[in-house]
Amino acid sequence: MYYFHTNLPVGDSSRDTISSATKQFNEVVTGMSAAAVVDESNAATSLTMTTGTLQVFSGVLNPIPTYTDDAAWDDGGGGDLAYTSSTTFSELVSVGGLDAGKTWIVELNPYLSATGRTFVANINGGTEQEFTQAKAATTANTLRFTVSGTASVAINAKTKYNSNVYLKSFRIYEDVPSPAVATTDTLSPGTEFTLTATNFASAPVSPATLTDSQGSTITVPVTISGSGPYTAVGTMPTLAEAVTAGTSLLFGDVTIELST
């Protein structure tokens, strides 16, 4: 995950990194061209960043918010914010060197110093999103964009109503799908079933846990094969086996889980 701060310590125009209690931020300043990017643990990466029409407004952020909601990841300092006052889109900053074969989330944390202002942004000229929440002291929504098939992202922004609007920070991270388990088989007593497990970082293990809409749960041994997606084959207990084992029968919709 990669974190970026466009808000600088007041009066600071140099480019360095900002260390919070939990992560490392890349400090974004004017005049950067293919500047190096570090990850959240301050390790070097192959990513670079370049600023476009970035402007900095001195001391606008006072006091510095401590976010608790969507923007809680922004726990860095600051005071001088990047801003735009143009009603047409301009590129504030771009980040290159991403893996074009992956899907990425670009999450922006704008800031508005007064009500009635609107920050508008897009990524690489795509779908626009608007931010209208002003002067959030502890809570803030963020703008999230999903991009894929590209090695670079350009953050384009504008104001909607001829007023200064600010980009306080942003982060970029891979959109990793959650593990999922599915079957097309009917889970009848005594019948064999096949599960397909996708988006697992490592091979799942037996048994499978099945939970019905009433909250009843049983575990069924399965044989795992494949290398992702994985296949798991098992046999539902018969009625007699369920009675003997003292386990529940399943009714209604069934949720299937595999662990690693």
> Which pLDDT belongs to residue 82?
83
Asked whether residue 13 carries a pLDDT value surpassing 90, the answer given is no
Per-residue pLDDT band at 239 (split at 50, 70, 90): confident
Q: Which residues, including other chains, have CB under 8 Å from residue 90's CB and lie 6 or more apart? A: 52, 53, 84, 156, 157, 158
- Give φ, ψ of 64 to 5 degrees: -75, 125
Tokens of residue 220, six digits: 């069924």
- Say which residue, 124 or 16, is predicted with more confidence: 124
DSSP H or E stretch at residue 239: helix 239-245
Please state, in angstroms and rounded to a whole number, the distance separating the CA atoms of residues 260 and 258. 7
Confidence of residue 10 (pLDDT cuts 50, 70, 90): very low
Peptide bond between residue 63 and the one before it cis (omega within 30 degrees of 0): yes
Residue 182 has pLDDT above 90, yes or no: yes
- Whether residue 75 contacts residue 24, with contact meaning beta carbons closer than 8 Å, is answered with no
% residues pLDDT > 90 (the chain): 50
3-state SS assignment for residue 154: strand
What pLDDT is stored for residue 116 in this prediction? 86
pLDDT of 67 strictly over 80: no
68 has a pLDDT exceeding 80: no
Q: Which two tokens stand for residue 22?
A: 């939990």
